[in-house]
Amino acid sequence: MNTASDVVRVEDLPLSDDRTRGWCALRAAGGVADLNETFVLSSAEALEFATKHPEIFSSEDAFDRLGSPLRLIPIAVDPPEHARYRRLLDRFFAPKRMAELDPALRAQVAELIEGIRLTGGTCDVVQALAVPYPSQVFLTLFGLPLEDRDDLVRWKDAVLEATNPTSTEPSPEVLQHALELFSYLADHVARRRNTGGADLLSQLVATRDEGGMTDEEIIGLCFLFVLAGLDTVTSAIGFSFAKLGQDPTLRGRIGEDPVAVLAFVEEILRVEVPVPFAPRVTREEVDVDGVRLPKGASILLALGAANRDPDRCEHADDFDLDRSSNRHFAFGGGPHRCLGSHLARLELRLVLEEWHRQIPRYELEPGFRPTAPWPAATLALTSVRLVIGD
């Protein structure tokens, strides 16, 4: 079995500016490695096994250990209870339902991009587009006022800081912002109990399928979307433009071919996975890749390393739009596969289509080097500076 002496600590991996080297170093420790009493699964085969066996690799126990004051629905629940939530929720997030949002979400991203185009010059696409747009999508989806966007961004940042296990004790200000988000959501859920509506929040309040959902469960779902659905899309947008800004041939293909847009979305999620690790806890002893994992072990599913596993994907570190298969773990797998994956794909597609319709000529600012803070729960570039062409 590989031990911590065989590889740098997870928090020391060079994921900030050289993710190829970082994931390679982790995979070199083996498909399963014991790193400082945390077992890291980095091969595609090991992740496939773990994600398909939630009765052994518990997401619920992992989130209990993180100490979240609110049960995050449905990721913090394991089968068989988890199945009830997915039966209830999957229909609300199915591809057809998400497609119905296309006109409204396209109009919103087009407006944001138009503002960037009219300003011209140099643009930080992270701050101008990648941060605000996912928050607007959340508000639209749940039928909340778009004018609350800046508040939501502030609350989101606070909740992420308060729940990040790598952070120090959150400040009273951060905790206050997290409480404000809870109160905001609780108030809107209570209003929907009285008024109803056609938005998702109203539908969740009104449904009686599978026994319906309590206010606390609906708020837990909303918190999960804030924690897992905003910064992840921000990350993917940032990495997309960092890649496109350095590759004029790739920009041309994206601007001319709608099929290439779809392939680009999957490939950027594979190569630059927003969530690098997913936590689990073993509920029984189990052998994985020849390694005995004890009951109660802390597990990290290395999604980013598995996405670049050469046993699963030829030339796995290369970005290639023409792959015959670009299967990836960016949305996890098994019963806990990301509830919002179809929405995330829709957001990324709309951003790429509308950007290249309005701004076909752009490039990364000369000399600018995008970096992603690490360690962090989400790998995301803090800034991507583009020069907008005429």
Among 55-59, 174-178, 207-211, 310-314, the range with the most confident prediction by mean pLDDT is 55-59
**The token pair that represents 92 in the structure block:** 């609300």
Q: In whole angstroms, what is the distance from residue 2 CA to residue 159 CA? A: 35
Q: In whole angstroms, what is the distance from residue 201 CA to residue 183 CA? A: 15
Q: Where are the domains of the chain?
A: 4-388
For the cut 60, the answer to whether the pLDDT of residue 114 exceeds it is yes
In angstroms, the Cα distances linking 288 to 37, 42, 48, 266, 333 are: 16, 11, 11, 28, 17
pLDDT of residue 90: 96
Average pLDDT on 180-207 reads: 92
| Residue located via tokens 């952070």 | 167
Q: Which residues contact 67 (CB under 8 A, 6 or more apart)?
A: none
Reported pTM? 0.95
pLDDT tens for each residue of 15-40: 999 999 999 999 999 999 998 789 99
Q: In whole angstroms, what is the distance from residue 104 CA to residue 189 CA? A: 23
Output the CA torsion sign for 283, 285, 291, 297: positive
Pair 361, 389: CB distance under 8 Å: yes
Q: Which of 78, 84, 85, 64 is nearest to 334 (CA)?
A: 78
Between the two ends of the chain, the Cα-to-Cα distance in Å is 57
Tell me the three state secondary structure of residue 368: coil
Tell me the three state secondary structure of residue 32: strand
Residue 5: pLDDT band with limits 50, 70, 90: very low
Residue 38, Cβ neighbours under 10 Å: how many? Answer: 16
Question: CATH 1.10.287.3510: does it fit domain 4-388?
Answer: no
pLDDT tens for each residue of 80-96: 999 999 999 999 999 99
Q: In whole angstroms, what is the distance from residue 314 CA to residue 326 CA? A: 10
For the cut 60, the answer to whether the pLDDT of residue 242 exceeds it is yes
For the cut 70, the answer to whether the pLDDT of residue 298 exceeds it is yes
For the cut 60, the answer to whether the pLDDT of residue 68 exceeds it is yes
Residue 165: pLDDT band with limits 50, 70, 90: low
